Structure 1
Amino acid sequence: MADPPARLLDLTRSLRRVGRTATGVDRVELAYLSHLLTLDAPLLALARTALGYVLLDRAGMQAFYDRLEDVQEWGGADLLSRLPRGRNAALMRAESDLRRFTLARCLPSGLERMLRREMPSGFAYLNVGHSNLTERVLRAVKTAEGRIAVLVHDVIPLEYPAFQRPGTVALFRAKIDRVSRHADLVIYNSKDTQQRSEAQMHHRVPPGVAAHLGVTTPIADRKDLPRGLPPAQPYFVIVGTIEPRKNHSFLLDLWDQMGPTAPPLLICGSRGWNNAAVFDRLDRLPPNSPIQEIAGLSDPALAALVSGAVGMLFPSHAEGFGLPPVEALTLGTRVLCNDLPVLHEVLGDKAVYAPLSDAYSWKATIEEWAANPPDPRATVTFQAPTWAEHFKAVLKLT
């Protein structure tokens, strides 16, 4: 398929999350921005601010990317950014800079007119961040004779509603319904996600393509670690937000069973939602507990902990892709994970799988690995999917 006359990348998620620790979805939007900036094809970006929409040309997108990557500093907050109350300073400065970089901007009611004026017929709108997928935006793109491509990372909120924040499930249901009605192409991060997502599309099932996300080996730097880390003895890590789906309670139960001989377990991630019982257990850990909760690590520090661990544990109930174990394998760290189809698809035979119903196998594997640390000189044999492969599969369709 020939390239579209122009691509329009939605950067609303990257804007809204300025100043916060990047999630897996954040990294995907940033990867698309980085890659598309290297291509010669006409390129623009759309972002929703508190007051309306901004349209960026290639130069504006590069300036935004440089600030996201800390190559340049954000400018000061302008007057308009101060009008909506209760917002953090980082977001105010970022919105102000986007207005400085903008090719065009409009109030919400003017989006359709702006796109018809600025975008050529047949342009491709790419939304890869699960943000700004509103009826207004999707209708405006269609009216401006654009084609819509959406990356769906997972439909876990619909499959496991009890794990979600209050009020979010209905919003996510409406979002998937809009994708079902309007998308010309849906991009999925795995075949498993495609199968599960299409089962949730009640209006129509748009054409889809499954392309694993690219993963680069994280750069580890022990100098970034807080004092006292890593532990002197063999230790395990679990990486991810402390929320019900990640199933930290399963590991806390195992460590209770192992008692005083249990190896160190480093819980790396910020506290999330709907998890009061787990938070209470963590708060009641004694000072000499083998379990440590560690939040706010830099990417190099987290990579240092993961690369030095005797194993990563991943008892998650559900995943769309499973970035933490993929990154662990690229660092040469063994992975013990739940027996999920998507993890088999992405990790292949390089991980050890055990269902959550088999706590004995989990405990036995943990004890064996703790007693037999891997050879640090061992060659990494896992071949992670690359962004080049992802974009080769996706961009020929968009």
Structure 2
Amino acid sequence: MSKDMPLNSLGFAKRPEDTRVVVAMSGGVDSSVVAAELAQQGYDVVGVTLQLYDHGAALAKKGACCAGRDIHDARRVAETMGFPHYVLDYENIFQEAVIDEFADAYLGGATPVPCIRCNERVKFKDLLETAKDLDADCMATGHYIQRKMGPNGPELHSAADSNRDQSYFLFSTTPEQLSFLRFPLGHLHSKAETRALAAKHGLPVADKPDSQDICFVPNGNYASVIEKLRPGAADPGEIVDMDGNILGEHRGVIHYTIGQRRGLGIGGMADPLYVVKLDPDHRRVIVGPKEALATRTIPVREINWLGDEPFTSRKEWHVSVKVRSTRPPRAAIIRPISATEAEVELIVPEEGVSPGQACVFYSNDDSRIFGGGWIWKGR
């Protein structure tokens, strides 16, 4: 093709029909719309759905990602739009890279985010390599996030619809992965727009509900999954106050998370108590007043940096950070310790900062994401 040819909608200087794009299809409406739109625009679309776990038990579960119902739905979308569709068995990879760590994190008193690990270790690693093996020019997903070209190459930006933004779950996307990935839904301003596109294409998933839970956790009952994976994980122990006084008995550390107030079973106290720390080694749940939850300094490791300058080129980075997916970014100062470790100081202390969650870095000036890391112990 001529180098003077204008870029197509995916950023390549060639015709859509000469551009192969692998679409990661979960069976939901978002990735289905991505595949349908690209197919209609004339791209050489190949749909791929991952079977991530034994989906027999999940068939009856509404909103499960990548279970048997979803594989069927993805296949129907491919048939409707007339492009090839493949199902890849990634069960062993998913078990080792995501599920085992999920269980061990809870056993260690952390509150993990397995969706981030799945993107990092499965979808954007093994599946991305599979896309390259299929001679794809790029891989597209249904994530609500934007990829924009900056002066130094592709940048990661929050979605136009802040209510759908998934940047918290994609902070570990590397620059190399970002050069190969495309997110065609990131510019949309509402989920209604996505569903309207699905209806326009006559897709059978146009009215399919959004998935709510972690895909391998039926009905949100993660404790039962952990008990099955790690027998003895729910052994009872003591609920104690910050001075070590015994206030009651708990039903297993895995049932509790930092900041939790309900379901402690220790009524009759003058003031409400919250989980402020988990001590799995001694099977203890430590509770205290709300002010004990306030955290200003957060140690972060396994940092993925997406800034233009090297992470360690400055002593301080003044940014905004998210410490939970459901919270807005808050002003902070990042002080690098190494290329992958830092101390994050929150300008205003936050409550419920928990090991195992992500700390994601955002620009103060625009929608750009500078990466992030994993919170590994509270202070």
TM-score (norm. length: structure 2): 0.30
Normalized per residue, the structure richer in helix is 1
Normalized per residue, which structure has more strand? 2
